[in-house]
Amino acid sequence: MSVEEALDYIKSHPEGALQSDLWKALKIDSRKCSRIVAKLLKDRHITREVESVDGIRTYRLFCVSRTSGRRFDPLMALDAFEPCAGCIEECIPEHCASLSEWIFSIVMSSDEVAPSNAIQEEGGSQALRSPSS
Ligand code: SF4
């Protein structure tokens, strides 16, 4: 069983393929399947998310070409990824420069006229402000 066959199987499942189904479909044991998945992950052909099926932990595998440009589009503004995903900072959204910059990118990408004073310095951090403030 080849890596290419595993990738073809994953590609044929736009909703993502469960790793627990992959090794059964390819008629290989789960250890060999794990090695194939590891290679596909290392080569960045796929991504995976933990999933529980009937109380058993497995992974849902996604072909990268199918995930990029679709699943994460709502989290992208121009080339900036939504900053709250995975953030471990102490959260004060009103004073978060990362969030303000991301929102500003959304405004810019929507081709609306952005006010020149949209981002102002406040107490060492940037905050998004309306044009009247
Ligand atoms: S608002 Fe800022 S601090 Fe809060 S989670 Fe988002 S990026 Fe992190």
The top-level CATH class assigned to 3-67 is mainly alpha
How many Cα atoms sit within 13 Å of 70 on the Cβ side? 9
Give Cα 114 to chain centroid, integer Å.
Answer: 27
The residue whose CB lies within 8 Å of the most ligand 1 atoms, and thus the one to mutate among 95, 99, 102, 103, is 99
- Predicted local distance difference test score (pLDDT) of residue 130: 44
- Predicted local distance difference test score (pLDDT) of residue 102: 86
- Predicted local distance difference test score (pLDDT) of residue 67: 46
Judge if the beta carbon of residue 89 lies within 6 A of ligand 1: yes
Q: Report mean pLDDT in 10-residue bins for the chain, 133 residues.
A: 89 93 93 94 89 91 68 70 88 93 79 46 45 44
- Interval between CA 70 and ligand 1 midpoint (Å): 23
- Predicted local distance difference test score (pLDDT) of residue 69: 53
CA 72/CA 7 separation, integer angstroms = 21
Which atom of ligand 1 lies nearest, measured to the CA of 97?
A: 2
Structure tokens of 74?
A: 């709502």
- Predicted local distance difference test score (pLDDT) of residue 22: 94
CA 96/CA 126 separation, integer angstroms = 7
Question: Residue ranges of the domains in the chain?
Answer: 3-67, 73-128
- Predicted local distance difference test score (pLDDT) of residue 24: 93
Specify the DSSP class assigned to residue 115: P
